[in-house]
Structure 1
Amino acid sequence: MAEQAFNRNYLGTIESLKNELHLKQLQINRLLSITQAINNNVSALGLFEMYRSFLGWELGIRKMALYVKEDDQWHCACSIDISKELLDQDISSFFPRFTRLVNLEGETHSLVSVFDVVIPVRHKDLPIAYVFIGGFNEEEDMYNKIQLITTITNVIAVAIENKRLFKRQLEQERLRKEMELAAEVQQMLIPKKLPQSGFYELGSIYKPQMSVGGDYFDFIEFEDGKIVFCIGDFTGKGLAAALLMANFQANFHTLITRRLELDEFIQDINKSVFEITGGERFITFFICEYDVKARTLKYVNAGHNPPVIISANKMEFLKTGCVMLGPFPDIPEVKIGYATIEEDEAVILAYTDGLTDIRNSDGEYFSEEMLSGFIKAHYTERVDTLNTQLMDYIDHFRGKETIPDDFTVLTCKVYCQAK
């Protein structure tokens, strides 16, 4: 009897060792195949399919759900014998509880209760995967199988995480190159030198907050003594905005040299913007034509912050115009505004809304009233001096607060007598 009992125990031990050896061999083989797949750059879907096949066919796992994180959202990457209805349930609120291997016996949630255990996978102290396992075929092998599943899951999850990080790195590099190209395009569009004649001078403050901003300004001088200048604010940033700006500039120069009336010009350039963007982008825009001889100006304000004319006895905001450019193929009505410069000198100042988005440490905005008040006090200065003083005033106002958005100031100083 003792000998028979010994033989049974001996045979049981041998069988247990054989099973354990079999699992170890499975682990080695599967790790080798997964490593080869990773080295061969097999897709995430391919790795998930290898994982599901290994657990289902080679380990005999009857129920499984593997959750991974993508774009800060948890989702089920692969599963075994779990209905779509159950998988559609969001169980991510349970995950913070699972900091180690957890027995799910007693769980009441309709999806969580399907499984026996959950195995969390962490990488650099952060959870990157959770695998829910249920339906072990052989109870006595549960411990060894869990160890094997944990190892394989770690390898798969870390590989997927590395793929995700590499993809993000490539995307960041692509965006960096795109922004560099967009910045180069935009730098070519922004005038490097503004005109200064005896009867007028233009100056600017141009502060893009990224390498590429959405602000635009331009000018054209004509031989008959007229000058046209404009300022605009484009929605969006990056290469798409820069290319739209380049197209806009080309159309601006083509159309304005035809000497169209400003209302016709606005209709035509609006059509060109709409044709390119399909109404998905828009531009706030202000254009002004100043006649040096007559000392008059006409303008159209297309949804832009109202520029202001300031002289010794005058402050006039230039609001007449139409809706912004781009949302619609046709603008219902375009009104042309008119003004006359009656004093010896005056300043026409236009800006983009990033200027009035600037705040100080008390949360107060740099208001339109502050801007016009400052210009009123300093309008006799030459343009470059005026803009330098204005920038100092803005910096003093905001203190240590950052500038939240692009802003541009376009200043036109006009004189009765040549300077």
Structure 2
Amino acid sequence: MLPPGWRPSHSRCLSTLLLYVVSLLVALPEPSAGQASTGSSPTSSPATLIEGLGKAVAPLDGPWQFHLGDDPLWAVPSYDDSQWEKQMAQRPWGEQGHASYTGFAWYRLRLSLNLASGNSCDLSLLVPHLDDVYEIYWNGRSVGRSGRFPPSPIWYRSSDEPAIYILSPGTTQSPERELQGILAIRVWKAPLLSDDSGLSGGFEGAPVVGTPDSIAAYKTTLDYQWLRFNLVSFSEYLLYGIAGLLSFLSWLRDRQQRTLLWMTGFALSPLVRLALYGLRIAWPVGLSNALGPPVSSIRDISLWFLLLWLLHLDHDPALIRLARRCAVVSLSTTILDGLLSLLDASVGWFWVIQIADAVLTGIYFITAAMPLLLVALAIKQRRRLDLARRLVVIAAFLSGMMQVIQGLAPQGSRFTHWTLANKLREPIFLISGSAVSLPTLTGTFLLAALVYAIYRTSMEDRRRRSLLDHEMSSARELQQVLIPETVPSVRGFAITSSYRPALEVGGDFFQIIPLDDDFTLVILGDVSGKGIKAAIAVSLIVGLVRVLVETTQSPAQLLTELNRRLCGRLRDGFATCLTLRVDSHGNCLIASAGHPPPYVNNQELEVSGSFPLGLFPSVAYEESWLRLQVNDHLALYTDGLLEARNKTGEIYGFDRVRNLFSTLPDAARATEAAVLFGQDDDITVVTLVRVPIGEESADLSASSLNL
């Protein structure tokens, strides 16, 4: 066969013929299946003729010459591809006889374009998404690529966004404005993962050729159609984002509301997945696949704990432990699965990665069925659920089933040939050209149900909190009655007191009760625990003390009777107590029920100790006698002073207490020192300073009460 365009009238025709024959003999390779000899004839495959190309665009749907494998010579325009197979560009090669093929392949197409009068010779090519890495050659010259070929391949998660490439004028240009050229496309398909159907690879739509203006206008139309088609889906994600942002801002205001934090994780995770997979952002597939699974796991875990709270299952310790373990398994498997995506997909042992991917995916989808388990438990336990929670049950069940089916259906589909996953993604109806699919409906329903349920539950919590605040206010008023705001005048003594609860109300108490015959009874104690429970126990103890002082004035006897009445009434709790009876001459009787001993000046007083109140009914308490001299400083305190703890975990301790009382402080100053160090428990301090009779100062008899 002679070269095209050869005529006997051409000059030097004989030498041209000889050179052509020699080139055939030299370049002739061994014939192989599907490959013709490397002749120089550009007419080895028929040309695709496009007549009168003007402002319109022309699809290059084929047939294209197609060949598996890789050879740089296949980009050369003169390469003979007549023995290659033919494929259409509307479908990938997996649907045209090469299912599950991965690796290199080439497409070639010879173009012959007749341009309309008045149009420039510049051409542009619009290429839909090609699976996975590709490079385009026009007349043997590279005009653009997407991704990076092996070794160390990189391909992008760019959805189906078309790309535009500029083509230079063809090899020949006749007076009839005819352009000719060879379009060759080199493609590399990455190894398949567990959810790949094996039907992909190469073209996913026909390329389109035209002038730069017409191609740009055509791409704008395609982008608009894509945006319109996904409008409902994007609206759903926008609602998720708004709900997540509002939940996060609400959680910042009240960080004890962990439900708002779970709602934030549940609502913002789909928005992150949209950015990774659905917004035509050219993420490397390894990166998007590394981040996507953990984000899905965070959404799942957030939904689990939301359901535990909404379905009143959060009081079951075994179920909480199960949810936490499943959360660890889910997050661990998705992180490992994501890391597999970062490994080199061109290595020969990639089949090991594929097996590991399948195993980890299976484990993940076992944990993904957790919402179905929680809904089943709520129904089995016959939980009384209001309308909002019933809607959540229905929505969570539907969404959970949808997620499990969507995840499991494509697994191994290249062996099972199941098409359920594709059918689920298909739109069930259109709204003004925007697709609405079943997953979109279930996801929107679940979001609406969760938002409604959280709103109703938050209102209920706010109402309960208001009632609790009212109860706390009542408890504070009660404690203000039980803890004296002003210290009564005691003959021969200047007395100060300070009370600092760790919470709104506390478990410390003290009483200063004048008795007959110039005696005064000082009682200071500490109930185990804090808050309302401790405050109720305080009210009980103070009431009993006020009754018992009518019959006895002995500190030891008072503690004995008090202990007998408290046994079995503090609900596994106890109380330490120090009782002191003084007269105006400085004589003191002291009895202790497991309470820290007082300080006289800078020395800790030795007091006979015994068990705290409320533990054993038959305990007998002993008394110690002490004589205070004028200017002696007696300090009584609760263990909240001793156990004050700073940010590093260091406690105030005995040494600091000894140094503090060596300065002979009043009660307010001693309490403030511990608070500044780091209050961890209720703190109460009472000081008594012996003064000459008649020189008691009203300024020294003061009480500091901070509720």
For this structure pair, what is the TM-score category when the shorter chain's length is used for normalisation? 0.5 to 0.7
Partner of residue 605, structure 2: 317
Q: Any gaps of 5 or more consecutive residues in structure 1? A: 1-23, 25-64, 79-83, 99-104, 120-127, 380-385
Contact 2:507 2:537 in 1 (8 A): no
Structure 2 residue aligned with 1:411, among 687, 690, 698? 687
Quick one: distance in 2 between partners of 1:111 and 1:366? 51
Partner of residue 37, structure 2: none
Quick one: distance in 1 between partners of 2:309 and 2:681? 34
Quick one: distance in 2 between partners of 1:195 and 1:276? 31
| Structure-2 change in CA distance of 1:118 and 1:243 (3 Å) | closer
Structure 2 residue aligned with 1:214, among 507, 517, 520? 507
Post-superposition offset of 1:117: 9.7
- Does residue 133 (structure 1) correspond to residue 404 (structure 2)? The answer is yes
Post-superposition offset of 1:184: 1.2
1:345-366: per-residue Cα shift (whole Å, max 9, x none)? 3222101112123356786543
Highest RCO, 1 vs 2 (Cα 8 Å, sep ≥ 6): 1
Secondary structure of the residue aligned to 1:159 is helix
Structure 2 residue aligned with 1:196, among 489, 492, 501? 489
Quick one: distance in 1 between partners of 2:307 and 2:635? 46
Partner of residue 594, structure 2: 303
Relative to the length of structure 2, the TM-score reads 0.39
Quick one: distance in 1 between partners of 2:641 and 2:620? 29
1:110-121 to 2 correspondences below 5 Å: 112-113=364-365
* Corresponding letter in the other structure for 2:583: D
* Corresponding letter in the other structure for 1:353: D
Secondary structure of the residue aligned to 1:229 is strand
Quick one: distance in 1 between partners of 2:576 and 2:524? 8
Contact 1:205 1:409 in 2 (8 A): yes
1:258-283: per-residue Cα shift (whole Å, max 9, x none)? 125333321221233224224x2211
1:28-59: per-residue Cα shift (whole Å, max 9, x none)? xxxxxxxxxxxxxxxxxxxxxxxxxxxxxxxx
1:309-359: per-residue Cα shift (whole Å, max 9, x none)? 23xxx835143131111233x143422222223x33322210111212335
Partner of residue 654, structure 2: 368
* Corresponding letter in the other structure for 2:547: T
Secondary structure of the residue aligned to 2:548 is helix
Secondary structure of the residue aligned to 1:246 is helix
1:58-98: per-residue Cα shift (whole Å, max 9, x none)? xxxxxxx99834489799999xxxxx9xx999432355549
Contact 2:525 2:638 in 1 (8 A): yes
Partner of residue 36, structure 1: none
Partner of residue 270, structure 2: none
Quick one: distance in 1 between partners of 2:576 and 2:519? 23
1:275-314 to 2 correspondences below 5 Å: 275-278=568-571, 280-293=572-585, 295-310=586-601
- Does residue 142 (structure 1) correspond to residue 424 (structure 2)? The answer is yes
Relative to the length of structure 1, the TM-score reads 0.63
Contact 1:67 1:76 in 2 (8 A): no
Partner of residue 223, structure 1: 516
Secondary structure of the residue aligned to 2:652 is coil
| Structure-2 change in CA distance of 1:248 and 1:146 (3 Å) | same
Structure 2 residue aligned with 1:339, among 606, 613, 626? 626
Post-superposition offset of 1:157: 3.0
1:159-192: per-residue Cα shift (whole Å, max 9, x none)? 3333443444344333322222211111111112
Q: Any gaps of 5 or more consecutive residues in structure 2? A: 1-231, 233-299, 314-318, 336-356, 372-394, 410-417, 426-436, 696-707
Greater C-alpha Rg: 2
Contact 1:115 1:133 in 2 (8 A): no
Quick one: distance in 2 between partners of 1:346 and 1:71? 61
Contact 2:330 2:364 in 1 (8 A): no
Structure 2 residue aligned with 1:348, among 634, 657, 662? 634
* Corresponding letter in the other structure for 2:518: G
Secondary structure of the residue aligned to 1:345 is coil
Quick one: distance in 1 between partners of 2:694 and 2:452? 73
Quick one: distance in 2 between partners of 1:362 and 1:111? 41
1:180-228: per-residue Cα shift (whole Å, max 9, x none)? 2211111111112212244123211222232212211101111201111
Contact 2:630 2:692 in 1 (8 A): yes
Quick one: distance in 2 between partners of 1:157 and 1:374? 56
Quick one: distance in 2 between partners of 1:191 and 1:336? 26
* Corresponding letter in the other structure for 1:347: H
Contact 2:304 2:323 in 1 (8 A): no
* Corresponding letter in the other structure for 1:415: V
| Structure-2 change in CA distance of 1:215 and 1:71 (3 Å) | farther
Quick one: distance in 2 between partners of 1:147 and 1:205? 62
Count of aligned pairs = 319
Contact 1:232 1:352 in 2 (8 A): yes
1:177-196 to 2 correspondences below 5 Å: 177-196=470-489
| Structure-2 change in CA distance of 1:162 and 1:265 (3 Å) | same
Post-superposition offset of 1:368: 3.4
Post-superposition offset of 1:286: 0.6
Structure 1 residue aligned with 2:541, among 248, 264, 271? 248
Contact 1:66 1:77 in 2 (8 A): no
Contact 2:608 2:623 in 1 (8 A): yes
Partner of residue 123, structure 2: none
Secondary structure of the residue aligned to 1:91 is helix
